[in-house]
Amino acid sequence: MNLTAICDNKCRFTYIRVGDSCRTHDAGAFKWTEVYTQFLRQPATFFLLDGYILADSAYALCRNVVVPYPLSELSGNSDEAVAKRKFNKVHSSARMTIERAFGILSARWRFIKKPVYMKKIKDISQVIIAACILHNFCINIGDPDFETDEEIEMDEDEEENVETARESVRTRRDELNRWFQPRQ
């Protein structure tokens, strides 16, 4: 079963969706979330101060989802390639929070790492949701962490402007990248 989640800087889950088959690609599961269907279509309503989600390269780059630069843009020693590699390193470091959140969740409730044998998928989903809620509760009360071991579809109107939209989000990523570069 696939758990799609967003977390804050303290490893608390701020959004979860459970129920997609584990055979569903992460980007495919994301397309069925409320974040994709509602939040990304009305970003000003949900992303105050022009916020964004950091995602791995499995996801598509879009206005409020920032993914790392592709490997094809990282080769060479040009200033641009070096800057993009630095951006990817910072991006990866920031994304470790979600990896850590999943690690803490599965360390606290080890049953999550193994098949959950229940007759109804809805019951499995509810157990995983409960574990996520308890995970957040434990963080909120200061329970110590456990050691851990471990293409977006567009409607017809959007398709007409797809290249402009892609360039816009690439520009946004480049602007974020410049923010991480040393000031001269």
Sequence spans of domains, the chain: 2-180
Decide: 39 and 46 in contact? Cβ < 8 Å. Answer: yes
CA nearest 35: which of 68, 1, 63, 11? 63
Q: Is the pLDDT of residue 44 over 90?
A: no
Q: Is the pLDDT higher at 70 or at 175?
A: 70
Q: What is the pLDDT of residue 61?
A: 83
Structure tokens at 31: 């397309």
Q: Is 84 left (phi over 0), alpha (psi -120 to 50) or beta?
A: alpha
Instruction: Express each pLDDT in 128-167 by its tens digit.
Output: 899 999 999 999 988 876 544 444 444 555 455 556 656 6
Give the pLDDT confidence score for residue 31 in this predicted structure.
67
Cα 85 from Cα 81, distance rounded (Å): 6
pLDDT value, residue 149: 40
Per-residue pLDDT tens digits for 14-39: 888 887 656 666 666 676 677 776 77
Query: What average pLDDT does range 35-56 have in this prediction?
Result: 72
- How much is the average pLDDT of 37-61? 74
Which stretches does DSSP call E strand in 36-145?
53-54, 65-66
CB 5 within 8 Å of CB 15: yes
Where is pLDDT greater, at 114 or 12? 12
User: Distance between terminal CA atoms of the chain?
Assistant: 49
**142 vs 49, more confident:** 142
Quote the pTM value: 0.67
What residues are paired with 162 via a beta bridge? none
User: For 87-113, how does the pLDDT look when each residue is reduced to its tens digit (9 = 90+)?
Assistant: 999 999 888 999 999 999 988 888 877
